[in-house]
Structure 1
Amino acid sequence: MELVFNELSLTKPFENLVVARNKMKKFVLLIQELFSHGISKDLRVADDFLHLSLGNEYKIIQWLNDKEVDLELKRFFKARISRKPYIDSHNESHLYNNFISSEFIHNEITCKGLGIAYLLDGIAISILSHEDWDTHLLNLNFIEVNSSGELFEEVIEVRHISNSKHFELHKPYCDDRKKLVIGDLEWRNSLEEIFPSLNFCERAKAQLVDYKKGDPILEQIKNRLIELNNYFIKWEKGGFDSTVVPFKVTPESHRTLEQYREEHTFLCPDGEYRVFSWHLRMTPGAGRIYFIPDEKTRKCIIGHIGNKLKTVSDPT
């Protein structure tokens, strides 16, 4: 899982050198702890990272040359920030294109690191410079203009860490991710074993197999299925609660299901045809997963994994 630095956590310099050194030490020790648990091997930072200010006239590059700072701590940190940029525009062209066509805003400020952490489905990490960063989740406003010129806005959540207690809250999800660090095709051939609370229609299985190995959207699909599976494992009583799912899920409108009922109807594993309304969006892009919460079995039926289906507002 990728670890991405949140540059907004260094918007205001620390009041003195002692505090700056102490905050930086805690930050590097936190990175060491995360790496020891298998959370990434490098820290993604911006090109200007070394010139960000920790204090008045005291930048990160000066901290790396500070004789008062432990030498091994500096060596470790320098090695971890020199391998991966925020985005490699050549080798990660899909990520770069999604980033430049979207905007991510936190508290009315454009944020690069938090946005990239979301696109990578990774974890943002901050220096604990303010109480705003003492949280394991951050809300962002996501804005995208698609190829048709349509404006899409959504409030999204980004996983975030600034101390050890935040990592403990993310650990179950990270453990689930580790189980799927296998060949792309292999996990797609083991759906029932990996996702015991999800029942896949043959259509959805075929759609998964059609994606080429290494296709960027597969990672996002995989992670959305993990989170859906976790929700339905815990669903023991009451109706389906879309507000508890850790990403936005919505039903289609009544008009859409009337006009495009056939396009939303799929054969289910029990031999019955059902209309699929609930869906989630892969962001950015046109990817969708359509599903039905089955209140009898307390499981989820996955009917469609692919581009968005026809709606009244977008019949193409």
Structure 2
Amino acid sequence: MRVLLFFNELSCVIESDESRIDACMVDFVELIRIARKKRRDTALVTPSPLKDMELGDGYHVRQWINKAENRDRWRLLQSARNMSPVSSALRESASGEVEYSHQGRSAEALGGAHLTDSLAVSLATDSSWRTPWVVVDRTQAIEDVDGSLDLEKGTVEVRHAATPTELRHHEEWLACSGLSGITTGRQLWDAGADFFPNLRFLGRTKNDLEQLEGHRLRAVRDRLLELERATAEWRPESTHQPAWKSNVTPESSSRKSRCEFQDANGITRTFDMHARFTPGAGRVHFRLVPEERVLEIAYIGSKL
């Protein structure tokens, strides 16, 4: 369920000078930071160890690191790279049965991103990389009806970003990537911090989630995703509550006493705000914590 970002080695342009590459790296690191803020399980896949990568003519990452202003940026990149699969992930993704190229050059990372339905990320060293989709040539072995193999050539589009601007085109994918693979409530509970970083679940909701299955599980999964998106966009200093993506209302005053639960600190609070899900009269009860810009969830199940 991990979100993979495949670093496009073709964007490392030898002709670029250090100052231009440094500026591109600022955008690149910000892109990684935003992606990891939205999905904590985001991992950066590179074709070689980060420090060994050549960003330009004789200019390697290890030299970029030595500049004081890049120390914190390096830590962020390193933490993202440390989460990624082994360096052979690129080679394993692009098997010998399919090859990818871009403008006549082998495109290993772009191919890996396409094969795994992931995101390719680049340095914006050229205007051609400032695009949310990159067209790549693909050659693959296809079995004919008689059992023989033939080569099929064509083009495919690869999800891509070089700056935060392009990443915005893929926000929905970033939020949903891997979510469809969750088939049990226990899996949803275990992955909650990764998929829903702006939602906080009280411990008691673990049992609520584990009771879900089938259509109700999918409905809750979709509703939580909507709540996550709304909370991520929320600016408490400007609006009292988020711009909800579905019908969210408070309980009537006569029913609020049914919505009291103890929070993580043992304090009894009212969680009367709720979103609905079907089949049946399903409810997700929560409260807003504006000082933390968090939505705290206390109950998931049938109408109280």
TM range (shorter): 0.5 to 0.7
How far did residue 127 of structure 1 move? 0.7
- Cα 1:105–1:67 shift into 2, 3 Å: closer
Secondary structure of the residue aligned to 1:12 is coil
Distance 1:97 1:5 in 2: 13
**Aligned match of 1:119:** 115
Q: After the TM superposition, which residues 1-16 of structure 1 pair with which residues of structure 2 at under 5 Å, given as runs?
A: 1-15=3-17
- Cα 1:191–1:105 shift into 2, 3 Å: farther
- Cα 1:32–1:98 shift into 2, 3 Å: closer
**Aligned match of 1:25:** 26
1:135 and 1:160 in contact (8 A); partners too? yes
**Aligned match of 2:105:** 109
Q: After the TM superposition, which residues 238-253 of structure 1 pair with which residues of structure 2 at under 5 Å, given as runs?
A: none
**Aligned match of 2:59:** 58
1:87 and 1:96 in contact (8 A); partners too? no
Structure 1 spans left out of the alignment, 5+ residues: 195-316
1:30 and 1:163 in contact (8 A); partners too? yes
How far did residue 169 of structure 1 move? 1.3
1:106 and 1:140 in contact (8 A); partners too? yes
Secondary structure of the residue aligned to 2:47 is coil
How far did residue 22 of structure 1 move? 2.2
1:54 and 1:60 in contact (8 A); partners too? yes
**Aligned match of 2:290:** none
Larger-gyration structure (1/2): 2
Secondary structure of the residue aligned to 2:42 is coil
Distance 2:93 2:6 in 1: 18
Secondary structure of the residue aligned to 2:25 is helix
Structure 2: which amino acid aligns with 1:160? H
Secondary structure of the residue aligned to 2:84 is coil
1:10 and 1:52 in contact (8 A); partners too? no
Distance 1:158 1:54 in 2: 22
Structure 1: which amino acid aligns with 2:34? E
Q: Deviations over 1:267-289 (max 9, x none)?
A: xxxxxxxxxxxxxxxxxxxxxxx
How far did residue 193 of structure 1 move? 5.9
How far did residue 161 of structure 1 move? 0.5
Structure 1: which amino acid aligns with 2:21? A
Q: After the TM superposition, which residues 176-255 of structure 1 pair with which residues of structure 2 at under 5 Å, given as runs?
A: 176-177=176-177, 179-183=179-183, 189-190=214-215
- Cα 1:168–1:156 shift into 2, 3 Å: same
Identity rate, percent: 21
1:63 and 1:69 in contact (8 A); partners too? no
Secondary structure of the residue aligned to 1:150 is strand
1:4 and 1:113 in contact (8 A); partners too? yes
Distance 1:191 1:177 in 2: 20
How far did residue 178 of structure 1 move? 5.8
Structure 2: which amino acid aligns with 1:107? Q
Structure 2: which amino acid aligns with 1:162? A
How far did residue 134 of structure 1 move? 0.7
How far did residue 71 of structure 1 move? 2.1
Q: TM-score, normalised by structure 1?
A: 0.52
User: Cα RMSD over matched residues?
Assistant: 3.2
**Aligned match of 2:130:** 134
Distance 1:57 1:88 in 2: 25
Q: After the TM superposition, which residues 34-73 of structure 1 pair with which residues of structure 2 at under 5 Å, given as runs?
A: 34-38=35-39, 40-47=41-48, 49-64=50-65, 66-73=66-73
- Cα 1:104–1:86 shift into 2, 3 Å: farther
1:5 and 1:126 in contact (8 A); partners too? yes
Secondary structure of the residue aligned to 1:78 is helix
Q: TM-score, normalised by structure 2?
A: 0.54
